[in-house]
Structure 1
Amino acid sequence: MHLRTTKRLALVLAAAALALAACGGSSDDDSDAAPGDGLTSASPRAGGSLTINIVTESRGLDPFTGAMSSVTDYSRLNALYDVLVYADGKTGEIKPQIAEALTTPDGGRTWQLVVRDGVKFSDGTVFDAAAVKFTWDRMADPANRSLYASSLRGVTTEVADARTLRISLAQPNARFDQIVAANLAYVVSPTAYQKDPKGFSRQPVGAGPFLLKSWQQGVQQTYGRNPGYWQAGKPYLDELVFKTVTDQTQSFNSVDTGGSDMAITLDSRNANLAKDAGMDVTELALNGPGGVLFNMAKAPLDDPRAREALTLAIDPDGFNKIMYDGKVVTPKSLFAVTSTQIDQNAVPTPRQDTAKAAALAKQLADEGKPLNVTLMMPQSTNSGKTGEYLQQQWNLVPNINVKIDYVDINAMMAKVLVGKDYQAAYYNLATPAEPVLWNALHSKSPANWLNYSSPDADAALEASRTATTPEDLKAAYTRLAQVTSRDFLMIPLQESITYVYAKRGKFGGLELTSGAGILMDRLGRSGT
């Protein structure tokens, strides 16, 4: 097997919270394992069930409408479809799964994907190169309104033989394999999809380790083990349940009291509680900060002075102290402060300057451009606290008036990512940098939901795709960080770390992708 691998030079950031929990075992903790070791080091055994509390309900369970992030559907889709390839959560290296090879002979202009022999969908039909082409063609079809269609812009495919798909790009991209891992890894059964295209998202058919058995909207989804899964002896679990639980405190309490076994969260407070309780805790730092992002096509934020005024009115370190007791890292750009993808010393750090913020706001008011803004925030307990803090800080500055609009997370995604119907949003640019940053920031990207247009940013993004050495990639991303900081693209407030915690000694085989999705084929109960 030969798989082209590229190493990410840093792990990635996100900014929303997700809780995942499991039930079905004793809550007694008699293991001698040290906290922090068990989830990734313990060996899983066959059998048992796992219930996962997740913060949002699915919009749909097909790859076109499913929300690909750790806070929504990554783990659900991994269970149903498996993946062609994935980016390793620790190294960013692209690794094979159903695709045994994804290579480029010419620096990214053309690619070849080879799928494994003998893989079948759960309806018994063959998983082949034609199925990949079928799925990608549906993904690119505007009629399906896929959030990920832009990942296939300028991409043409040809089935060379039953297992081989030839891929041609309009422009070279040495990191196209990262795009496949992030947005194009899930493949549907063409036979099942063609039978009922409209109903497929409720009755999905993939080649993953689990099958959807039932779905109670807003309550839970129940999955059973796929007996025809292509990897012998997997998955380890017999049953998997995803429950919709929006309250983070409730999720932690369910693990702590034994009603659940496991949770995944970006809330450092819950993670600290889990550590204090002696649980196994695994951490994964993510790139792409959470914070306030601006729609640059909406007045008054189309004026850079308005964005600068709002930015200078906020103290990110003060936010950290109030919201997280100073226990989380405060980001300063599009990239994590620990990222080696950029030259950290070359990127300026905005500092709070309320006097300058007031002066800019007065200029705008005098010109008939009052700084009246509505900030859209996801609906949750923690978001309420965040919104209150930000609103208070902004409204202390003369001529700045900010209102907060709390919206269901799925509805917010539709408004922000699809409709671009917002002024400012508390959201994230969760990486992998490819294709997220290109899609969100390039002026010619149809997925540019920030309505950002900068020749300098475009040039940096284009240079990142043609870079063939780590040094060239670092130079391109450093320039991108500098330009977006200069243009006040966002107020970075929250460097996120994904935490997975469970009662000590209960689970093993945990492996996360770089997007913090759980690879469900290898997770299982450990011990007796």
Structure 2
Amino acid sequence: MTLTRRRSALIGAALTTSLILAGCGADEGGGGGTEGSGEQASGDPVEGGSLTYLAVTEPANLDPASLSNSLVTQSVYGNALYGQLLEITPGGEVEYGLIENLENRDGTTWIVTLREGLTFTDGTPLDAEALKYNWDRAKDRTVAGSQTVASAAAIAGTTVVDDRTLEVTLAKPTAQFASLIMAINFVGSPTALAEGPEAFTADPVGAGPFTLDSWTRQDRMVLSANPDYWDAPRPYLDELVIRANPDDNQRYNSLQAGEVDVAISNNYETVQLAGDAGMTTLPAGFSGFTNLMFNFSTAPFDDPRAREAITLAIDRQALVDTLYGGAGEEPPTSLIRETSALYDDSASFPESDAERAQELLDELAAEGRPLEFTILSSNNSDVARAGEIMQAQLQEFDNLTVSIEAQESASWFGRLSQNDYDATIYGAAYVDPSPVLDTLVGTGSATNFNRISDPALDAALERGRLSDDPDERREAYLEVQQVLVDQSAMIVYTWSPAFLITSEGVGGIRFYGSGSTPVDGLWLVSDA
């Protein structure tokens, strides 16, 4: 399989899992809803100007291997400084960036070809050696984030063929290598990275559309256009300012006050308010869900009865209605949206059953093991609030004590990596279910935080990864879901709300992968 076109290589149904179309047409009923509303600026891009983008989190550092590539994490920083090796659109198309071509030899061996003449902003070449250095380095847990490590570990080895060509050998064959690249999509100058993390964060060197001017922690990052960016005349903006705030309401208030031009929202109620106020709300267009995940490896959730009890005790619809003020969607019936060719809800998640839940809790208590646990979450406002709503629901049961603990995102993720938690609120976002589901629940994965290990689950994941036939893949992922349901592995309570809300006069917004937002195409109407 060879993918060669610069911006529109359609790779078909194998990558069309997320078809929540990120269209910009107005919602006929008015308001934001779950489909988005309004229109971003159209016409020829306008060059110049400064745009302020309000993200959810600020990164601990600017090492490309440490930046998580999704809408609500640090993708905007990575896209600004490092650009994209490639993109997978919400419609399932591969659009090439720094990579010019991918060739599938046999599922295990892939040939990666870079564009000619690429350089980092320090003048050193972005060649096959540099790509190898970055992808090899992405396996190092001391510098890379867990999600990066999980994807990089799928690469068994790399061989430089020539300046522009890298031969990649995968640990396991897959037809979805482009999806795997999403988590290792940012590369930096090996020369600069060799100076150490502190020096690199002070002066990051990539090949992206912007370069760092200044970074005042807990305030703002200011970046200037890279005059030597490979995809001229992009970037259109002269300056990009990135701020961060974990509170969705405060981000919306900043947009209303005219303090920012673009803000992330991960709350359906906020999106509804923004749409009602006439703002443009754009859905990121990927499959993704948020869940309460149990830790199988330690008490109390090493006992399947404890997992089943909480699964049946939580009323998912009431949780979503409270969390989003009635503006959200119905809880998912599947891990894959119904708009996908891979959708099948035959193994739907169970409805709440308070009576059976109490029976299980009483049974555990009679054995001297009354259920007590802590829900660990990040300090993202909606995630923390979801934990509080769950706690309130569970307080209605006897023989059950539930605490909640919200931590700053980096600390929360560190706790998961160290296996220091009972249950956590976690999300998964993807265009294609492979490799994300492989890394989420596959045996031995660095981001299999619930520590589930099941041969039938692993076999089904493998079939979904290897095949490019939609019918075969649908059957495989149905079996994945059936195992997760049978084992009460997680409580999937909502599709992940992921939107950009913009003020009037912002154009050039696009999404790829897990809602990641490139910034090279952003522009402002001159009088906006």
In 2, are the aligned partners of 1:333 and 1:485 still within 8 Å (CA)? no
Task: Please state how far the C-alpha of 1:215 moved relative to its aligned partner.
Answer: 1.3
Aligned pairs for 1:12-31 within 5 A: none
In 1, are the aligned partners of 2:266 and 2:498 still within 8 Å (CA)? yes
In 2, are the aligned partners of 1:222 and 1:240 still within 8 Å (CA)? yes
Structure 1: distance between partners of 2:262 and 2:421? 35
In structure 2, the residue matched to 1:359 is 359
Structure 2: distance between partners of 1:328 and 1:98? 37
Aligned pairs for 1:61-460 within 5 A: 61-88=62-89, 90-106=90-106, 108-147=107-146, 148-153=148-153, 154-180=155-181, 182-332=182-332, 335-416=335-416, 418-432=417-431, 433-460=433-460
Counterpart of 1:10, as a letter, is: T
Q: Structure 1 residues 488-497 or 244-253, which shifts more?
A: 244-253
Aligned pairs for 1:48-63 within 5 A: 48-63=49-64
Q: Deviations over 1:188-230 (max 9, x none)?
A: 1112112335532343210000001111122211111111111
Structure 2: distance between partners of 1:326 and 1:93? 34
SS state at 2:393 partner = helix
Q: Structure 1 residues 300-309 or 39-48, which shifts more?
A: 39-48
Aligned-pair RMSD on alpha carbons? 2.0
Structure 1: distance between partners of 2:303 and 2:269? 37
In 1, are the aligned partners of 2:219 and 2:244 still within 8 Å (CA)? yes
TM-score, normalising length from structure 2?
Answer: 0.90
Task: Please state how far the C-alpha of 1:77 moved relative to its aligned partner.
Answer: 0.1
Task: Please state how far the C-alpha of 1:42 moved relative to its aligned partner.
Answer: 4.4
Task: Please state how far the C-alpha of 1:311 moved relative to its aligned partner.
Answer: 0.9
In structure 2, the residue matched to 1:21 is none
Q: Deviations over 1:87-116 (max 9, x none)?
A: 11x21222211111011022x111000000
Counterpart of 2:234, as a letter, is: K
In 1, are the aligned partners of 2:68 and 2:183 still within 8 Å (CA)? no
Structure 2: distance between partners of 1:114 and 1:126? 14
Are the structure 2 counterparts of residues 373 and 95 from structure 1 closer, same or farther at C-alpha, using a change threshold of 3 Å? same
Count of aligned pairs: 502
SS state at 1:519 partner = coil
SS state at 2:499 partner = strand
Identify which of 1, 6, 10 aligns with 2:11. 6
Task: Please state how far the C-alpha of 1:261 moved relative to its aligned partner.
Answer: 1.9
Structure 1: distance between partners of 2:251 and 2:152? 37
Counterpart of 1:297, as a letter, is: S
In structure 2, the residue matched to 1:497 is 497
Structure 2: distance between partners of 1:474 and 1:104? 22
Structure 2: distance between partners of 1:477 and 1:42? 41
Task: Please state how far the C-alpha of 1:328 moved relative to its aligned partner.
Answer: 1.4
Q: Deviations over 1:144-164 (max 9, x none)?
A: 354222323252111101100
Structure 1: distance between partners of 2:132 and 2:444? 25
Counterpart of 1:94, as a letter, is: V
SS state at 2:297 partner = coil
Q: Structure 1 residues 352-361 or 387-396, which shifts more?
A: 387-396
SS state at 1:200 partner = helix
In 2, are the aligned partners of 1:372 and 1:400 still within 8 Å (CA)? yes
Structure 2: distance between partners of 1:368 and 1:202? 55
Are the structure 2 counterparts of residues 76 and 144 from structure 1 closer, same or farther at C-alpha, using a change threshold of 3 Å? closer
Structure 1: distance between partners of 2:92 and 2:209? 23
SS state at 2:430 partner = coil
Task: Please state how far the C-alpha of 1:244 moved relative to its aligned partner.
Answer: 2.2
Counterpart of 2:189, as a letter, is: S
Are the structure 2 counterparts of residues 391 and 52 from structure 1 closer, same or farther at C-alpha, using a change threshold of 3 Å? same
In 1, are the aligned partners of 2:269 and 2:325 still within 8 Å (CA)? no
Aligned pairs for 1:486-525 within 5 A: 486-504=486-504, 506-525=505-524
Structure 2: distance between partners of 1:343 and 1:285? 16
In 2, are the aligned partners of 1:443 and 1:452 still within 8 Å (CA)? yes
Q: Deviations over 1:280-309 (max 9, x none)?
A: 221234323112111111211011110110
Counterpart of 1:249, as a letter, is: N
Q: Deviations over 1:469-490 (max 9, x none)?
A: 1211111111111111111111
Counterpart of 2:520, as a letter, is: D
SS state at 1:38 partner = coil
TM-score, normalising length from structure 1?
Answer: 0.90
Task: Please state how far the C-alpha of 1:319 moved relative to its aligned partner.
Answer: 1.4
Q: Structure 1 residues 150-159 or 45-54, which shifts more?
A: 150-159
Task: Please state how far the C-alpha of 1:343 moved relative to its aligned partner.
Answer: 4.2
Task: Please state how far the C-alpha of 1:275 moved relative to its aligned partner.
Answer: 0.8
Q: Which runs of 5+ in 1 are unaligned?
A: 14-34
Q: Deviations over 1:243-282 (max 9, x none)?
A: 1223322221222232222212111122111111111221
Structure 1: distance between partners of 2:119 and 2:484? 45
Task: Please state how far the C-alpha of 1:348 moved relative to its aligned partner.
Answer: 2.5
Are the structure 2 counterparts of residues 165 and 491 from structure 1 closer, same or farther at C-alpha, using a change threshold of 3 Å? same
SS state at 2:215 partner = strand
Q: Structure 1 residues 322-331 or 274-283, which shifts more?
A: 322-331
Task: Please state how far the C-alpha of 1:43 moved relative to its aligned partner.
Answer: 3.7
Structure 2: distance between partners of 1:43 and 1:508? 9
